Structure formats: structure tokens, C-alpha cells
A and B are shown apart, each in its own frame.
Chain A
Amino acid sequence: MTLPLLDLVRIRTVLLDGAMGTELMARGLPQGTAPEAWNVERPGLVKEIHGEYFAAGADVVSTNSFGGNALKLAGHGLGGRTYELNLAAARLAREIAPAGRYVAGSMGPTGKFLKPQGEFTEEDFAAAYAEQARGLADGGADVLLVETQYDLREALAAVRGVRSVSSLPVFVTMTFNAFPRGYFTLMGDTVVKSAAELEKEGVGAVGANCTLNSEQMVGCVRALRASTDLPIIAQANAGQPVIGQDGRVGYSQGLEDYVRFVPEIVRAGAGLVGGCCGTNPAFIRAMARIIKKERS
């Protein structure tokens, strides 16, 4: 029997996967198409990506459902297919997952604002995430990962929405920006406040992803460690997007430079480590070697 993921984190560093969207685009996802649509239209390609991350050494892959909440899908005219597309997302990852590996149901932000900045209430958000969580849970996810959150109020609403339909562990990553005074989300939430309120809401793990490069992530993980006893997730970007000579988009932090900071991220207290924008299976393979070395 597979050990619950939260038990594994207590024993050793857990390796997550890297970027999904760029992998889909590399396989021909047309501009403007909701990536989640491919869970039904191109299931083989989505599975292939999960398979590459597992082969690279990831203990956990995140489902192709980052934009799969009901509000975000509604922007693509797919709001009515929320359950179906998320169910398919989790099933694909589950089907390709080797024994003893895990599936995290990815749940990205709505892209909308709560009142007073926007039109939505916390109940609206909770319902949008609940519908997604139902599909992911029924499709076989081991945990639900509410990720890339820039508003703590939205993250808390998401957790409540997930809880209303599922008893799976909920992990949350917030997206922080580095300022001279510390790390803040777009809405101004601090690391301390985010960790405290999410912990109170009963999440299984908290963390940071996106925006920060792997060097900046070290400091952010330290700030998280000082704020909570929960397991900490760290998924840094490979720097910033840059335009290459050939006009194609790349990321400023190369693989070597990115992974250089992985040991520090682990020592700073991260128990679940993976990549975000600009990373790929090669990054995860390199991280797998480093983490194994750190362990021994």
C-alpha cells in the first residue's frame, strides 16, 4: 500500500513536477485553446507529459487542470464542462502513475477579483473551486493543490470550497513577489499571515510558487519555515521570460543556475520541491539527482 503523501514528506524530501503549459504548447496546443480541453481531445499527449515527469523522478505530478475552475473555464465557454474536464485530468495522471507515486489535482486561480475590487463573493469562488475539486477527487487525485494564489482571501475560499466536497488533503501555494521589506502577494498578503490563516483553515501543506527564481525562493522558504510547522512546498520559476535570438521565448535562469539553489531550498525547510514556469522534465531529472544526494 502506498504511504499517504503527508507521511512520505515526514520521511524524505518529495519531488514534484515542473511546467505543464509550455509542454502542451511544444506538442501543438493552439494559442487561445484552454489546456484543459486536451484532457478529452488529446489525452495521449497529456499522459505523455506526466509520463516524462514520472520518468524524470517526480514523486508527484500535477494534473492538467490549472485553469480548470468553473470561472476560468467559463472564459473559454467551457464552464459547463468543469466536472468532466477535471475528472479526465485526474484520470489521465492516475492511469500513467507508477505504483507508489502520487497525483496532485492542480487548481489555479480564477483570475477574477473578490469584492470590493471585483464582482465576486467568497461563496462564488468556493463554488467554482468545489465543482473542480469534485471532478479531480472522483478522477483519483491523492491531494488537491490550490496553487499560484495571489489573494489570500481567494485561497481561503478555495480551501473551503474543496472541503465542502472532498476530504482529500489540501495543499496551497501562494505567489509572492520579493520586496526590500519581504515577500508579498499581489494583494499585499505577507508570508506570516498567509501561513497562519491557511494553517488555521486546516491545510496539509503550504508553500510558494511562480514569479520568484530559485535563488529568491531560498529566502521565501526561510520566511515560511519561520511562520509555520506545516510541510513547505517550493516551486520556483526559472527566472524571467526572455526573447531569444531566434525570436522564441525562453527563461533567464538556465538549468545549471536553477538547480544550484535546490540544496539551499531543501535546507531552508522545503519538504516538497518542484518547478514552475520555464522548467521541464530535464530540470526535474537534475533535481532528482540533487535531492537524492541531499538525502544520503
Chain B
Amino acid sequence: MNKDELLRSMNEAIVAGNKAAAAALGAEAVRSGADLLEVIEKGYVPGLQKVGELWEQGEYFLPELISSAEAMKAAMAVLKPELDRKNIEAQRGGKVVIGTVEGDIHDIGKNLVASMLQAGGFEVYDLGADVKLERFIEKAEAVGAGIICLSALLTTTMTNQKRLIGLLREKGLRDKYKVLVGGAPASHKWADEIGADGYAENAVAAVKLVRTMSGGD
């Protein structure tokens, strides 16, 4: 398989959500001594972008999105040890702490965002659901994350997104972190009102937002 074929197949494996193919193509790239950063950037990543577009157009739904994210992670699992061995720094998106705020046990949307961020190359610390507000800050401090993502499904628990920002201020840490909010009741207006750094309506938009916030493209 020549390089163009390899890159195209990688793209297709992600779009099809084919985990086995995505991993096998990664192994093929390692074996043939291909430029691994190039296969990530020109093979897999465009596939993931295509999936995001198909989702935004209403062609793909949650199962397809998850399958593609899983395929991307499978490919990276093959490439990562090889990159480490060669001491090559893959372009990382930075560290993100994410969770559903306390009082709220809904985690479907949060899990999807976490999965897509991971697939997108971010180092994701997923604290789960019903997370005490202090824990977001403790974790972010401990791992040196730059971004905190807060999910809430209920109109009653979304106020905890606001409370976390207050808590950061009290601790004198507000400027240290970008705080992003999401969930069914949240909105751009809500994010503005509570002084959050951003809002994303869905998982695909969330990845774009986190990328912008972490100083990427």
C-alpha cells in the first residue's frame, strides 16, 4: 500500500468507525517506517473531522460518533508507544478536567465530550458524575490542567457551574483556568452571565472550543 492509499484507508477507517482496521493501519504505518506524525495529521485526523461534519449535518448520530472516537483511540494506542520510543512529541492538545457537577448524575453528554476530546488528542481527566466542586479544582491543580469542563443536565444543577467559578475566584485561581460549560439547559448567554470562558452546544463543537481555548488552530 503506498502512502496515499494508507492515508486514505486511515481516513476511511475512522469515518466507518472500524476499530480493527484503524489499529491495523497504524501497525502497518509503524512497520513500513512511515512518518507517524504525518499519518496522524493527514490520515486519521481528517477522518475525525469528517465524522464531526456528518454529525453536524444530521447524517451521523451518537453510535457512529462513539465508534469513530473508539477507532481513533485504537489507532493512537498503536502509534503512541512507537512515538514515545522515538521520543517524538505528538501534538498534544493539553490537559482537560471534565465532569458532571454535583447533584447531577447525568453523564451521557459528558462521556461523549470526554471521548471526543480524547480522540482529538487531549489528555482527559474524567471525574465522572455528581462531582463535588472542590474536586474539579483539586484535580486541575494536581495534574496541571489548563481547562475545566462542567456538564449539567438539570436547570437546578446548572447553577453549580456558576458556583465553581465563584470558588475559583475565592481561591485566587480564576485566571489560571479556562472554564467551559455544557449540557441541555446551558447556552452562550448562560456562559456569559456566569463569567465562564465558553459554551459548546454539542460534543463536536466542544472539541473545537477546547482546541481554540488551548491555543491550537
Partner of B108, one of A111, A116, A184, A188: A111
Q: What 0/1 pattern do residues 110 to 127 of A give for CB contact below 8 A with B?
A: 010100110000000000
Q: Does A226 make an interface contact (CB < 8 A)?
A: no
Write out the residue numbers on chain A whose beta carbons fall within 8 Å of the beta carbon of B64.
188
Q: How far is the CA of A75 from the CA of B103 in the complex (A)?
A: 11
Write out the residue numbers on chain A whose beta carbons fall within 8 Å of the beta carbon of B62.
117, 186-188
B185 touches A117 (CB 8 A): no
Q: What 0/1 pattern do residues 234 to 251 of A give for CB contact below 8 A with B?
A: 000000111100000100
Partner of A249, one of B60, B108, B158: B158
Task: Please provide the chain A residues from 181 to 218 with a CB less than 8 Å away from any CB of chain B in the complex.
Answer: 181, 184-188
Write out the residue numbers on chain B whose beta carbons fall within 8 Å of the beta carbon of A242.
187, 189
Q: How far is the CA of A186 from the CA of B130 in the complex (A)?
A: 23
B105 touches A111 (CB 8 A): yes
Number of interface residues of B (CB under 8 A): 27
What 8 new A-B contacts, CB under 8 Å, besides A31-B103, A75-B129, A179-B58? A31-B156, A31-B157, A113-B108, A117-B66, A186-B108, A240-B187, A243-B193, A249-B155
Number of interface residues of A (CB under 8 A): 24
A181 touches B58 (CB 8 A): yes
Output the nearest chain B residue to A113 by Cβ-Cβ distance: B108
Q: What 0/1 pattern do residues 114 to 126 of B give for CB contact below 8 A with A?
A: 0000000000000
- Across the A-B interface, give the 9 residue pairs with the lowest CB-CB distance, nearest first: A188-B61, A32-B103, A179-B58, A249-B155, A31-B103, A241-B185, A75-B105, A117-B66, A241-B155
Q: Does A260 make an interface contact (CB < 8 A)?
A: no
A184 touches B58 (CB 8 A): yes
Q: How far is the CA of A116 from the CA of B63 in the complex (A)?
A: 9
Q: How far is the CA of A111 from the CA of B193 in the complex (A)?
A: 29
B130 touches A32 (CB 8 A): yes
Write out the residue numbers on chain A whose beta carbons fall within 8 Å of the beta carbon of B197.
none
